[in-house]
Amino acid sequence: MSTEIYYFSGTGNSLVVARDIAGKTDGKLISIPSVMNNYSITTDADVIGIVFPVYHAVFDGMPLIISRFVRKMENIDSKYIFAVCTCKGWSRVTISKLGEIITSRGGKLSAGFTVRMPDNSNPTTIEEQQKLFDNWKKKLEIIYHYVNARKKGIGRRFKKHGMSWTAKRANNVLKLRTL
Ligand SMILES: Cc1cc2nc3c(=O)[nH]c(=O)nc-3n(C[C@H](O)[C@H](O)[C@H](O)COP(=O)(O)O)c2cc1C
């Protein structure tokens, strides 16, 4: 059983999240830009994590490199795939849109998580940032146990962090989990 954590990060939030998940799961940390010149992405890993920041949730929320990366994935039908997106608080349909692309490649997004991190375009105070980082450490444990048990679908409804109604609905429909 092996795990690979693919990540893209503009300013470091998603790198921290990806690095922590890789550490916890004993997974291999792989930068998405470093594999983008490959014609296709194939792997022997049984578990694949995809970590990235939300960009423009008003649209599909994904940085272009993420949709391009997923469209290069091959032979993913038997993999356990999970995704973690970091954002300032509004991910809307990001996870469900990612799920659609994974489905179009013959795979399945088994679990999706949204993690609040500092907004990189409108910095908050050091204290507020520290709170988010402390919160992340707790969420890491939840994600780890969820993924380690290869859980699929929703465990609990998300209950905090001010997700919008649309995000709740989209995630609920897909039975994904937002933290
Ligand atoms: C171009 C751009 C668009 C963004 N759009 C959103 C958004 O729609 N919703 C949101 O919650 N955060 C948004 N953010 C904030 C980032 O998702 C957030 O700060 C993320 O944690 C940054 O991760 P990174 O440091 O790995 O790049 C945006 C940031 C950028 C640079």
Q: How far is the CA of 113 from the centre of ligand 1 (A)?
A: 15
pLDDT in tens, 40-59: 999 999 999 999 999 999 99
Q: How far is the CA of 88 from the centre of ligand 1 (A)?
A: 6
Handedness of CA 108, 29, 143, 11 (dihedral sign): negative
The residue to mutate among 14, 52, 55, having the most atoms of ligand 1 within 8 angstroms of its beta carbon, is: 55
pLDDT in tens, 71-115: 999 999 999 999 999 999 989 899 999 999 999 999 999 999 999
Atom of ligand 1 nearest to the CA of 17: 26
pLDDT in tens, 128-167: 999 999 999 999 999 999 999 999 864 334 444 333 333 4
pLDDT in tens, 19-40: 999 999 999 999 999 999 999 9
Full-model pTM: 0.90
Q: How many helices, marked H, and strands, marked E, lie in the chain? A: 6, 5
pLDDT reported for residue 121: 86
pLDDT reported for residue 1: 79
Q: Is residue 179's pLDDT more than 70?
A: no
Atom of ligand 1 nearest to the CA of 86: 21
Neighbours of 100 (CB within 10 A): 14
Spell out the domains of the chain, with CATH numbers in brackets.
3-173 (3.40.50.360)
Atom of ligand 1 nearest to the CA of 16: 26
Length of the chain counted residue by residue: 179
Pairwise CA distance, residues 171 & 152, whole Å: 13
3-state SS class at 158: coil
For residue 168, name the pLDDT band (cuts at 50, 70, 90).
very low
Q: How far is the CA of 136 from the centre of ligand 1 (A)?
A: 16
Pairwise CA distance, residues 24 & 67, whole Å: 26
CA-nearest of 172, 166, 129, 133 to 153 is 172
Q: How far is the CA of 78 from the centre of ligand 1 (A)?
A: 31
CA-nearest of 3, 85, 90 to 48 is 3
**Pocket-forming residues, ligand 1, beta carbon under 6 Å:** 9-14, 53-57, 86-91, 117-121
Q: How far is the CA of 12 from the centre of ligand 1 (A)?
A: 11
- DSSP state letters, 109-135: EEEEEEEE---TTS---HHHHHHHHHH
Q: Exposed, middle or buried, 141 (CB in 10 Å: 0-12/13-18/19+)?
A: exposed
Atom of ligand 1 nearest to the CA of 58: 8
pLDDT reported for residue 153: 65
Q: Which two tokens stand for residue 57?
A: 């949730």
